[in-house]
Amino acid sequence: MELTGLQIFKHLPAAKKAENTNCKKCGCSTCMAYALKLAKKQVNIDACPFIPLDLKALLENASKIQQHEIQLSDTIKAGGETVMFRHEKTFVNHTVIAVALDTTDKNFDKKLEKIKEYSIERIGETYKIDAVYLTGSVSDGLRKDLQKANIAIISGEEHYRIITGRDVCELEVKAQDLIKKDKVKDIVFDLEYSDSLVEQLTYIRRASILNRHEPLTYPVMVKIPEWFNLLETCALASLLICRYANIIVLNEFDEAMISTLMTLRQNIYTNPQKPLQVEAKVYEFNDPNRYSPILLTTNFALTYFAVAGELESMSQGSYLVVVPSDGMSVLTAWSADKFTAELVAKSINNFNLKEKVDTRTIIIPGLLSHMKTELQEALPEWQIVVGTVEACQIPEFLNKGIVS
Amino acid sequence: MLNLTKDLSFSIKENIRTIDFDGLTIGGDASLSFMSENQNIAKPLVAIEIPYKYDKSFPDILKQKWEATSFLDLFEKAMKSDADIVSIRFNIEEQDVKSELNNIKIFLLSLNQIETKPLILRGSNNVNVDRILLPFLAENAPKAVIIAFADEDTYETIVPAVVKNNHVLVLRTPIDINLAKELNVLSSDKGLSLDKILIDSDMGGLGYGLEYGYSIVEKIRLAGFAGDSMLNMPIIAFIGEESYRAKESKLDTFSTNWGTLDKRASMWELSGAAAMISAGANIVVVWNPQSIGVLKGLL
Contact B2 A264 (CB under 8 A): no
- What pLDDT, on the 0 to 100 scale, is given for residue A225? 97
Average pLDDT of chain A to the nearest whole number: 91
Portion 150-179 of A in contact with B at CB < 8 A: 168-169, 172-173
Contact status, residue B33 vs residue B283, Cβ threshold 8 Å: no
Question: What would the mean pLDDT of A225-235 be, rounded to a whole number?
Answer: 97
Nearest chain A residue (CA) to B242:
A390
Higher pLDDT, A50 or A223: A223
CA-closest candidate to residue A158, choices A222, A245, A262, A78? A78
Which pTM does this prediction carry?
0.85
pLDDT tens, position by position, B176-218: 899 999 999 999 999 999 999 999 998 888 988 899 899 999 9
Under the banding of pLDDT at 50, 70 and 90, the label for residue A404 is: very low
The C-alpha of B70 sits at a distance from chain A's nearest C-alpha, in angstroms, of: 27
Alpha helices, DSSP H only, in chain B? 4-7, 60-66, 71-80, 97-110, 127-140, 155-164, 177-189, 210-225, 239-243, 261-279, 289-298
**pLDDT over 70 percentage in chain A:** 98
Residue among B174, B222, B257 minimizing CB distance to A259: B257
- What pLDDT, on the 0 to 100 scale, is given for residue B252? 87
Using a 10 angstrom Cβ sphere, with 0-12 exposed, 13-18 middle and 19 or more buried, the burial of residue B191 is: exposed
Residue A208 has pLDDT above 60, yes or no: yes
HSE-CB of B224 using CA atoms within 13 angstroms: 30
Within 10 Å of residue A25's Cβ, how many Cβ atoms?
Answer: 12
- What pLDDT, on the 0 to 100 scale, is given for residue A276? 65
pLDDT tens, position by position, B16-36: 999 999 999 999 888 876 665
pLDDT tens, position by position, B242-291: 999 888 998 888 899 999 999 999 999 999 999 999 999 999 999 999 99
> Residue A378 to residues A334, A350, A382, B3, B221: CA-CA distances in angstroms?
16, 14, 9, 64, 41
B286: left (phi over 0), alpha (psi -120 to 50) or beta: beta
| Mutation target vs A (from B34, B179, B211; most A CBs, 10 A cutoff) | B211
- Kindly provide the b/e burial profile for residues A382-402, where b requires at least 16 CB atoms within 10 angstroms of the residue's own CB: bebbbbbebbbebbebbeeee
Q: What is the dihedral of CA A135, A137, A139, A143, to 10 degrees?
A: 30
Is A216's Cβ below 8 Å from some Cβ in B?
Answer: yes
Nearest chain A residue (CA) to B295:
A235
- Identify any residues that bridge with A120 across adjacent strands, giving them in sequence order: A127
CA-closest candidate to residue B8, choices A58, A173, A204, A220? A204
Contact status, residue B65 vs residue B288, Cβ threshold 8 Å: yes
d(CA A223, CA A233): 10
Write phi, then psi, for A228 (nearest 5 degrees). -80, 130
pLDDT tens, position by position, B131-155: 999 999 999 999 999 999 999 999 9
Contact residues, chain A, for B210 at CB < 8 Å? 264, 267
3-state secondary structure of B163: helix
End-to-end Cα separation, chain B, in angstroms = 29
d(CA A242, CA A236): 10
Average pLDDT of chain B to the nearest whole number: 92
| Mutation target vs B (from A91, A231, A396; most B CBs, 10 A cutoff) | A231
Using a 10 angstrom Cβ sphere, with 0-12 exposed, 13-18 middle and 19 or more buried, the burial of residue B21 is: buried
Instruction: Please state the separation of Cα A207 from the chain's center in Å.
Output: 22
Residue among A234, A243, A332 minimizing CB distance to B278: A243
Under the banding of pLDDT at 50, 70 and 90, the label for residue A86 is: very high
- What pLDDT, on the 0 to 100 scale, is given for residue A19? 87
Residues contacting residue B63 through CB under 8 Å, at least 6 positions apart: none
A12-21, A187-196, A210-219, B218-227, range with the lowest pLDDT: A12-21
d(CA B216, CA A337): 20
3-state secondary structure of B26: strand
A327: left (phi over 0), alpha (psi -120 to 50) or beta: left
CA-closest candidate to residue B207, choices B286, B280, B268? B268
d(CA B212, CA B207): 11
d(CA A269, CA A206): 19
pLDDT tens, position by position, A309-346: 788 878 889 999 999 888 777 888 888 888 889 989 99
- Its ipTM equals 0.95
Contact status, residue A65 vs residue A217, Cβ threshold 8 Å: yes
- What pLDDT, on the 0 to 100 scale, is given for residue B40? 56
Residue among A86, A235, A266 minimizing CB distance to B298: A235
- What pLDDT, on the 0 to 100 scale, is given for residue B180? 96
Nearest chain A residue (CA) to B11:
A206
The 3-class secondary structure across A209-278, one letter per residue, is HCCCCHHHCCCEEEECCCCCCHHHHHHHHHHHHHCCCCEEEECCCCHHHHHHHHHHHHHHCCCCCCCCEC
CA-closest candidate to residue A381, choices A402, A365, A403, A359? A359
- What pLDDT, on the 0 to 100 scale, is given for residue A250? 98
Contact residues, chain A, for B273 at CB < 8 Å? 235
d(CA B282, CA A305): 32
- What pLDDT, on the 0 to 100 scale, is given for residue A338? 82
Is A214's Cβ below 8 Å from some Cβ in B?
Answer: no
- Dihedral sign, Cα of residue A208, residue A212, residue A216, residue A219: positive
Residue A215 has pLDDT above 70, yes or no: yes
Contact residues, chain B, for A236 at CB < 8 Å? 274, 298
- What pLDDT, on the 0 to 100 scale, is given for residue B36? 58
CA-closest candidate to residue A252, choices A374, A112, A99? A99
> Residue A159 to residues A27, A188, A222: CA-CA distances in angstroms?
45, 10, 19
DSSP A288-308: --TTS-EEEEESBHHHHHHHH
Residue A3 has pLDDT above 90, yes or no: no
Question: What would the mean pLDDT of A30-59 be, rounded to a whole number?
Answer: 88
pLDDT tens, position by position, A244-284: 999 999 999 999 999 999 999 999 998 887 666 778 899 99
What does DSSP assign to residue A46? Answer: G
Residue among B8, B174, B251 minimizing CB distance to A332: B174
Order of strands, edge to edge, in the sheet holding A220-223? A152-154, A131-135, A96-102, A247-250, A220-223, A187-191, A161-165
Residue among A231, A332, A391 minimizing CB distance to B294: A231
* Pairing verdict, β B45-51 and B283-286: parallel
